[in-house]
Structure 1
Amino acid sequence: MVHINKAYDLNHWLLVLFFLAQLCIFVSSSDPSEIQTLLKFKSFLSNDTALDNWNSSTNPCNGSINIWAGLYCDKNGNAYGLKLQNMGLLGIIDIDTLSGLSALRSISIMNDNFAGPLPSVNKLSALIGVYLSNNQFTGEIQDNAFEGMSSLKKLYLDGNEFSGKIPKSLAALSKLSELGLQGNQFSGKIPNFAPSPNGWTYFNISNNRFEGRIPASLSNLDASAFTGNQGLCGKPLAPCKSSKKKFLIIAIIVVSIAAILCTILAILFIRRRRAQSKQEARAQRKIKAQQHTAAMEVQLTADEDNYKKAEKGGELYFVRKDRGFELEELLRAPAEILGSGSFGSSFKAGLLSGSMVVKRFRQMNQVGKEDFYDHMRRLGRLSHPNLLPLVAFYYRQEEKLLVHDFVANGSLASHLHVKREPGQPGLDWPTRLMIIKGVSKGLGYLYKEFPGLTVPHGHLKSSNVLLDHNFNPLIAEYALIPVINRDHAQKFLVAYKSPEFSHMEQTSKKTDVWSLGILIFEMLTGKFPANYLQQGKRANADLAAWVNSVVREEWTGEVFDKNMKGTKNGEGEMLKLLKIGMCCCESSVEGRWDWREVVDKIEELKERDSEEEYSSYASDGDMGSSRAMTDDDFSFSVNA
């Protein structure tokens, strides 16, 4: 009887375990109503081939693992997030349907083709993140568009065509820590945002139409978050015009009006005295003429004195003998502001002999006149087809001017990162290869000409590579470290963002090689090295770390810029250049390639693959770096 009871108990517990297992399977499977909700949402979309595996025959989730493309699932098998970015989707974002997903906390449709007004995201009040960047949304956003979204922490609306003011409901969100509104047409004043417990981890409203004073709560952010808004002022931008100046302007207007009224009264008074003799009138006109002549002589004398004072302050010194124009001609020529950077402003001056670019430097006031002249004359003697030649310079203690030819085709950065229309091609592979070859040759020339400089360039980046009408590169702003104030240079120059300076606060002969590696990555990926915008030293470049992680995950095909055409039969050569970039960006200075080896390897590259050369390169021994991997470590796929 005892054995019978034990057998009964065992069967009883086995039965209980079976039901519990079935219950777990049921709980981790997707809710049938959620499947219907997602399929209904998909029905409002078009060009949705990326969502072909969304069908009723499979569950969207298996526990926390997503089965359907573009889903994030929680541990209960519910849709936690929608990541539908870079899919080319069109149609309607049906928020009413999405409200049936009770676990939904994040939605991303970045880099798609949705248009129209902002979707009614406040109907999804539990959302934590909303990512709508780089679509075609338009129009003003209603003031109540974000009411009730008390959990929202991240909002990205950049790269659209929204207009009007920032909604009051957005400014009132107390948990918001990341906000991207750049590249729209927002206008009006910046509101006072509700204080966030953790502060801002990302904030950018650049390239809009905002105006007025920047609120004090945002004054500690980087200036790049506000650039491109012509009407903004106050920290961290330029100070706002004081009320005293406004009062002075008003006073001048009032005095001018009073003067006009007095003139009118004087004319009326004169007319009343028409009965006076002609002789008195002639005498009066003669007196006025004499007074006018005396005033003109006084003014001419003052102008001459001012010119002589300016002349004593400095002179325009030409380092190229085939050019010549006066300083006055340069300063009085029609000018166009090209931009304002960390070292000063750049102007385009239209002279009769051709357009010139004048760059003003205010952070060179710690170098003596003789040392400055010697270094500028040395720069003037440089001659290489891939260097932008210095034409002239101007010295004053408080500021310096450097003058060079205007290059109409713009910088490499403007071609890599411009916002293109759909279908508009970027730089193709042969052009990018030609550019990087020219840059490496120019850098090699600087190394040879400045053997005594640890860092012969110091600020090598895509915005300092100009392109002529044939897309041949011209390196600019080179060899300026000896004349720039040291503390300012360490905040802004690219060389001081290298791993060796971040870790040991010193540069090396291979620092410019690291900068060239980052430029190679930027050209191959089309991504901008965002840490260059930060002041001061930083750890290894975010872009280099990203490339390294993607390669190690065997997703090498994801590295290359999708806008880069002309890659057919050139994938092997592109892969070689990627490897060169990785060897340039080795964080260990000892393991990093020397500039001569880099220049030689780049020069060997071709537009199209050669089986013999490719296999030879792949077996070329150890490349001296944990980053320098063999071809077996790569999974390569690029669409031509």
Structure 2
Amino acid sequence: MGMLPHKNRHKSMLLILAVGLLLLLAEAEAADLDSQRAALLTLRSSVGGRTLFWNATNQSPCNWAGVQCDHNRVVELHLPGVALSGQIPTGIFSNLTHLRTLSLRFNALTGSLPSDLASCVNLRNLYIQRNLLSGQIPDFLFTLPDMVRLNMGFNNFSGPISTSFNNFTRLKTLFLENNHLSGSIPQFKAFTLDQFNVSNNVLNGSVPVNLQTFSQDSFLGNSLCGRPLSLCPGTATDASSPFSADDGNIKNKNKNKLSGGAIAGIVIGSVVGLLLLVFLLIFLCRNKSSKNTSAVDVATIKHPESELPHDKSISDLENNGNGYSTTSAAAAAAAAVAVSKVEANGNGNTAAAVGAKKLVFFGNAARAFDLEDLLRASAEVLGKGTFGTAYKAVLESGPVVAVKRLKDVTITEKEFREKIEAVGAIDHQSLVPLRAYYFSRDEKLLVYDYMSMGSLSALLHGNKGAGRTPLNWEMRSGIALGAAKGIEYLHSQGPNVSHGNIKSSNILLTKSYDARVSDFGLAQLVGPSSTPNRVAGYRAPEVTDARKVSQKADVYSFGVLLLELLTGKAPTHALLNEEGVDLPRWVQSVVREEWTSEVFDLELLRYQNVEEEMVQLLQLAVDCAAQYPDKRPSMSEVVRSIEELRRSSLKENQDQIQHDHNDIEL
């Protein structure tokens, strides 16, 4: 019995020690949180920022915007596009040692990275692109063993690309483009990259073999050679080709020995090749002449027919052409009758008119109807646009097409045919294809594929009530990419080829919300009275004649389109007109004075984890809508930027899912 008090005392001492240890841990954790809080406040006072309205009286920084914690430890710091400026002082990150993700992209930070960033040994993702950081890539960066995503693009870093990058064994993304890096690209043997870009530096030498799977875009703007670029000087053939000189001695022995059979084979092959070339030229000439024939044969064509969204009135369409809508049966019939009468030259003899003029189809388009079928079709007004009125035509034989009735065409028939045939020859998956046209003195008709989901304008500014499908980030960024690819393809047809009338009502959508650019090439067909005025908000400030729009002016219009996509506000928004500013200037004023999120469409703010990508696309839009043409990017650069941010969004989401999965397993 005498032992019981001793045991009780022993248990009591253990309990006291345990409580004391817990209190010490709690105090240490509180002190650790205080030091992290102090570090973040020091960062705010050093580099500022519009969004760093952190409550200094709030003891926990885990509730601050852009800060994410795990067990009261700051593990992620996201501050993209918040107007940080100046140099980050040393001593901040030594108190944020649990950081796994640091995002400071799209700011104006200068100088070099602080050396105490080496204290963040758990850092996996570092996004510092589009700042003004300079100096060599610091060696301490290579002491961070868990690095997975590293984006240092669009800064002023100089010096060589160190072989110490091989210290990273988990690296998957490495972006170093648009810096001043020099020397050669080292061999990366310790890791396998999913994403890589060193374009627009001052690098030289050959592309390492294990990086030759990336596209040319990853290396352009340097003095590099080798796949995927041009062969290096002195290289006779591609070393990876099955025809390379691996057995040089054998080839050298036999290269001057041609048998009689080989010579005969060469002669016969040359003769056969010449005959094939002659037959090919004859075939092409006959095919070209048949392409422009005005004969129309009835054939079978499958074309989807869908219901039209009834989200806008006819008066709205007549005023702004924002989307697809239907007219009454009487109005549709009147439109069809009006077209018929014009085609009959006022005498009611439609058949005679059809006999004189016929639809001209492009390429191998199925000829499922003729002009008379088109005139008999039930018509619905889709909207009045810059170049004329568009109709949905449902033919008796089944196909559904869109017909644009042009107005104010002032050029001759010969000029019209030359220009419209050039438009019809353009074929790309992100463009609405022109299938056929009709030309007479009094009437000019264009026939397109019908896009069942209507225009982006109608989707953005149409019905906001119940039953509306909100446009989420994936849909909007996908639409932006599709439209950009369509415009990029147009620009690739020649330095003087442009769209001339880019706006949201000319971006049509398929059932899967893929973007298709319409109305390209029509600005060259109409007179100045039909050209859009500056009030529309899309026209670049340097454009005085909308028939002469440069590619850089197209980029400006696309920038306004991106802003419209992100803000949900049309360039003709009443509030903007009252304030007397255009959409780009309104966005810049809000971003300059308030938190960047104020400019975004409320529908977009519902979706989490895409804030950085939204800010990145917003910055790209502002760059496109720069006042001076030489400050604007090319459409190829725009496409690459949108593709990068969509890939980045996907990768970050996948990493987050994997991280959450690992946490669950632990």
TM-score, length-normalised on structure 1?
Answer: 0.45
TM-score, length-normalised on structure 2?
Answer: 0.43
Structure scoring higher RCO (CA < 8 A, sep ≥ 6) equals: 2
